[in-house]
Amino acid sequence: MGSMVNDRELVLEILLAVDRDGEYSHIALRNVLDNHQYLDKSERAFITRVTEGTLEHRIELDYMIDQFSKVKTAKMKPVIRWIIRSGVYQLKYMDSVPASAACNEAVKLTVKRGFGGLRGYVNGVLRSISRNLEQIVYPDREDVRKWLSITYSMPEWILDRWLAEYDKETVEAMLRDFLREKPVSARCNLSRISREELAERLEKEGVRVSLDPELSCGLKLCGFDHLGALEAFQEGLFMVQDISSMRVAEWAEPEAGDYVIDVCAAPGGKALHMADKLNGTGFVEARDLTEYKTELIWDNIRRCRMTNINAVSRDAAAYDEASKEKADILIADLPCSGLGVLGRKTDLKYKLTPKAQESLVKLQREILSAVNPYVKPGGKLLYSTCTIDRRENEENARWFTDTFPEFEKVREKQFLPGIDEGDGFYIAQFRKKYRAR
């Protein structure tokens, strides 16, 4: 158990980075694991599970804590709040952790962080919850909004929007899917290796592999420790990419020799998918706003050893005259609220506000206005987001064809987690009409 104290310290470090410093959870977690590569597989798994679980279930955990603590979670010191939250998560969701260990290690961590005077308080709250886990009273199911919010830890304002668009069963299926543990979704670089050969290589490295039945390039991976340690990953034989994201290039159906522009490409999954489908022909120009994001794309280009793709730093919201009618296919996978990927980015639901979402809708329209002239007559524009919201999706698609009648919508779909395979994701495909002679 000696190393477990260190594990919990690292969990607290990540949680405070997310809460206090505004870091995104997946980045904070990755940074800590990268900085502590000496950790064994079980320790890395423990840190990942407690971190992600505590964040995912935060609303429910606070609801539970507030029933047993005189000081409500909103009034607690941040360090104490996160120590207790992570302790309660272990008590409720981790049968492998003895209740005594969850309580005792939380008390030790409280003392180590300089709050020795609160050791009795932390111990009392956690042990009270431990003794009464089966007696905790949840909201009445008839109060659908409140019950869903507490049970699945989803802010009520987001639920209001979803319940206005979908029935209760669909919304609950989405919420349940966000909390479900899933294998890693990956895309095989088919221009370099067949999917079956890749699966065989990965299995030799100890990875459990299943082939996606819908997409010929898709695989599901689990059972590995550190992705970067896999030889097949180092050799660039596959990209980590969700099934929903892969559908963009599949819908685009690039033809040999096509010129493709991806205006918000980092870290490069869709752009590299297009380059792979072009099989060494044509060219893909992958763009993003900052040098940092561009370098992320270059990292993947170099790893995947693709030659028909380039990455450049360019502001998608600023019109580029040199790109006018240059693209056979334009990919506009734009900044969005991310409500479709809450299973992987656990803290987004707490960071997002209605006002911030409205700003994103405005930005999406600004970018679409700037980049649509890059499409050749007869060319395709693929607009996509990883969110579930009509304002950012269907309403933007309608606005686009109303504002730019030279484009016609070919098809669109809102993919829903728990209903469709993959993340919550939206794709709309448009075709630019030929000019009348």
List the catalytic residues.
Answer: 386
Element (DSSP H or E) covering residue 220: strand 218-222
Rounded Cα distance between 31 and 78, Å, is 21
Nearest to 249 by CA among 189, 306, 290: 189
Cβ–Cβ under 8 Å, residues 217 and 275: no
CB-based burial of residue 15 (10 Å sphere; 0-12 exposed, 13-18 middle, 19+ buried)?
Answer: buried
391 vs 337, 347, 353, 367, 377, CA distance in Å? 11, 21, 14, 15, 28
393 vs 231, 261, 319, CA distance in Å? 38, 21, 22
98: left (phi over 0), alpha (psi -120 to 50) or beta: beta
CA torsion through residues 161, 164, 166, 172, sign: positive
338: left (phi over 0), alpha (psi -120 to 50) or beta: left
Cross-strand partners of 432: 407
HEC-encoded secondary structure of 14-65: HHHHHHCCCCCHHHHHHHHHHHCCCCCHHHHHHHHHHHHHHHHCHHHHHHHH
Residue 399: count of CB within 10 angstroms of its CB: 15
Cβ–Cβ under 8 Å, residues 59 and 89: no
Q: What is residue 198's three-state secondary structure? A: helix
Rounded Cα distance between 266 and 276, Å, is 16
User: What residue has token string 């980590």?
Assistant: 240
Regarding beta strands 425-432 and 407-415, do their DSSP bridges make them parallel or antiparallel, or are they unpaired?
antiparallel
User: What residue has token string 């410093």?
Assistant: 21
| First-residue to last-residue Cα distance in the chain | 78
Quickly list DSSP for 323-389. GTT-EEEEEEE-----TT-TTTSTTHHHH--HHHHHHHHHHHHHHHHHHGGGEEEEEEEEEEES---
